[in-house]
Amino acid sequence: MTTTSQSSSLFDALRADAVRDPAQLREIYEMPSEAAVHKQVDRIHEVSRRLIGCSSFVLIASADAEGRCDVSPRGGPAGFVAVLDEHTLAIPDATGNKRLDTLQNIIATGQAGLVFLIPGRNDTLRVNGRACVSTDPQLLAQLTAVGKPPRSAIVVRVEEVYGHCPKSLMRGFVWKPEQWLPKDAVPSSAEVTLSHLSTSLDGLTVETIEQYERESLLHRYE
């Protein structure tokens, strides 16, 4: 097993010879096509509004004041992310693990990046912009797709909207069950949790974690 010090040494060795100049990076790649450059827009056009209305899953990227990055998943019924106008989105915060990593990052930096996915579709939509955490009662009363008004919502002032091509999801066979690994080949969420907690919580087992997960899913809107 690789130790922390060995891993750090490996990273430092690779970083010492890493690309540091955008011009050097551009020497490795061809220039993007004109379409790839110009399909970035600064508002939510009608087609993008419809796509967001079909999305039941979004990834939220954020960073804290020191630049440490985080990506967090959010899900709900199709259209759970509200398009308030062509420049503004609102994402209800359904109760999760209560760590509040994303919300605290947004409070610290006022920025967020989103990637919307639609089950069965290989194309995704990227939205970047300024962000804040709102507890406005009138806004929260509109965001009931996750079961009831949330305690807070992430509001994004859209600055960039970009439709990604489907290549990444196609390469990953994301929607092709015949290409998926068998369930017993993949560690379960309970196994992952146990591997992270076993040194600090005596007596914890996969079975107890699985029971907790089942109970948590029964009360997922609380």
**pLDDT tens for each residue of 20-40:** 999 999 999 999 999 889 999
CATH code of the domain containing 87: 2.30.110.10
Read off the pLDDT band of 199 (50, 70, 90): low
Both 162 and 197 in a single domain?
Answer: no
Task: Give dist(CA 38, CA 15) in Å, integer.
Answer: 33
- As for how many domains the chain has, the answer is 2
What is the model's pLDDT at position 74?
A: 95
Q: Is residue 137 part of a domain?
A: yes
95 with 161, same domain: the answer is yes
Could you tell me if residue 206 is inside a domain? yes
Same domain for 74 and 127, yes or no, is: yes
| Token representation of residue 157 | 């002032």
68, 137: one domain: yes
Higher pLDDT, 9 or 71: 71
pLDDT for residue 145:
85
Q: Is residue 195 part of a domain?
A: yes
Regarding whether 77 and 187 lie in a shared domain, the answer is no
Q: Does 203 share its domain with 148?
A: no
Across the range 66-90, mean pLDDT stands at: 96
Closest Cα partner for 134 from 101, 94, 102, 93? 93
Q: Domain check: are 196 and 159 in the same one?
A: no
- Let me know if residue 30 belongs to a domain: no
Same domain flag for 125 and 208: no
Given a cut of 90, whether residue 219 has pLDDT beyond it is no
CA distances to 34, 94, 102, 130, 137 from 221, rounded to whole Å, are 45, 6, 18, 27, 18
Mean residue pLDDT across the chain: 91
Give the pLDDT confidence of 156-183 residue by residue, as tens digits: 999 999 999 899 999 999 999 999 999 8
pLDDT beyond 80 at 71: yes
Alpha carbon distances (Å) from 58 to 37, 62, 79, 91, 115: 23, 13, 11, 9, 6
Question: If we measure between CA atoms, which residue out of 80, 162, 83 comes closest to residue 118?
Answer: 80
**Average pLDDT score over residue span 107-113:** 98
- Model confidence, pTM: 0.88
pLDDT on residue 209: 83
Helix axes 206-218, 189-197, angle to 10 degrees: 120
Q: Are residues 136 and 159 in the same domain?
A: yes
What is the structure's pLDDT at 53? 96
The reply to whether 6 falls in a domain is no
- Asked, for residue 58, whether it belongs to a domain, the answer is yes
Same domain? 115 vs 200 = no
pLDDT of residue 189: 86
Q: Is it the case that residue 131 has pLDDT exceeding 70?
A: yes
| 134 and 165 together in one domain | yes
Full residue range of the structural domain in which residue 208 is found: 181-218
> What percent of the chain is modeled with pLDDT above 90?
72
Same structural domain for residues 57 and 141? yes
Task: Give pLDDT, residue 5.
Answer: 66
Q: Is residue 29 part of a domain?
A: no
